[in-house]
């Protein structure tokens, strides 16, 4: 399958860091919203595998902020734009993304990063295009559902660990209640632009991967082929 045509890219990543980026990408996919993103990738203690942190008691204003972000996530059917990912070591990767509800997503990294992440509505596939290798995860078992499902109640589906508002930006720290992977997600929402600005994935060791979104466009009818990806399985290689 041919890659989607992308706008110009800026920046570069060292080839040595590609393996590290894949590990972070896996965490993003399994712990999103790892999204995540994101998301879209408050000061918090990292969550251990022994148990999840409990939701904090929110003020009326904090509850309203969470509801605003939840309404934004629920309100769009398709979303596309550009992203910049910064690893915990400061390495930068760029690319384009598209989300299409229910369940479909594509994050395509610019060269020299060889990875593409695709959700077809059932499976999330992380593919190394350079080596023609891929790993797959059931979408239902990843917190990506917090963003890609048609009807998600953020207050019920996630533990809200912190909500902070400053300079027009609302920062929500949350953890998927399924606790697939230790860690948590920080969403940054721009209240003035009414758009998700950034997400930060924090793993169980406190390492942070930040994904910033730019040139976001809502609406449109994406090509269904964007959410299909060829995966060579063992039986295919034997033929």
CB 144 within 8 A of CB 40: no
Domain 24-234 has CATH 3.40.50.620: no
User: pLDDT averaged over consecutive 10-residue blocks of the chain (239 residues)?
Assistant: 34 39 41 33 27 75 93 90 93 94 94 93 92 88 76 80 95 79 84 91 85 92 92 54
Q: Is the full-model pTM beyond 0.95?
A: no
CB 39 within 8 A of CB 128: no
Q: What is the pLDDT of residue 143?
A: 67
- Tell me whether strands 208-218 and 104-109 are parallel, antiparallel or unpaired: unpaired
Count of CA atoms in the C-beta half-sphere (13 A) of 26: 13
Instruction: Please give the structure tokens belonging to residue 137.
Output: 């995860």
Q: Tell me the pLDDT tens digit for each residue of 136-188.
A: 888 887 767 777 888 777 777 788 999 999 999 999 998 877 665 567 889 99
Helix (H, G, I), strand (E, B) or coil at 152: coil
- CA dist 85 and 235 (Å) reads 34
- CA dist 145 and 210 (Å) reads 19
Read out DSSP for 39-95?
------PPPPTT-PPPPPPPPHHHHHHHHHHHHHHHH-SEEEEEEEEE-TT--EEEE
Q: What is the pLDDT of residue 173?
A: 93
- CA dist 176 and 174 (Å) reads 7
Helix (H, G, I), strand (E, B) or coil at 14: coil
């Amino acid at each position: 399958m041919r890659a989607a045509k992308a706008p110009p890219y800026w920046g570069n990543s060292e080839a040595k860091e590609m393996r590290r980026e894949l590990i972070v990408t896996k965490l993003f996919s399994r712990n999103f919203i790892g999204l995540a993103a994101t998301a879209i990738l408050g000061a918090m203690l990292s969550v251990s595998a022994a148990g999840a942190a409990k939701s904090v008691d929110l003020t009326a204003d904090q509850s309203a902020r969470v509801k605003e972000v939840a309404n934004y996530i629920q309100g769009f059917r398709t979303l596309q734009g550009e992203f910049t990912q910064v690893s915990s070591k400061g390495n930068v990767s760029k690319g384009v993304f598209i989300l299409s509800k229910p369940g479909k997503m594509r994050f395509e990294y610019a060269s020299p990063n060889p990875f593409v992440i695709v959700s077809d509505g059932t499976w999330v596939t992380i593919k190394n295009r350079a080596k023609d290798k891929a790993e797959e995860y059931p979408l239902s078992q990843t917190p990506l559902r917090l963003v890609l499902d048609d009807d998600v109640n953020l207050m019920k589906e996630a533990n809200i660990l912190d909500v902070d508002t400053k300079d027009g930006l609302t920062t929500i720290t949350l953890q998927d209640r399924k606790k697939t992977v230790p860690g948590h997600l920080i969403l940054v929402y721009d209240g003035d632009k009414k758009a998700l600005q950034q997400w930060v994935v924090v793993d169980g060791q406190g390492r942070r991967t930040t994904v910033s979104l730019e040139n976001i466009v809502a609406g449109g009818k994406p090509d269904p082929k964007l959410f299909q990806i060829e995966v060579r399985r063992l039986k295919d290689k034997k033929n």
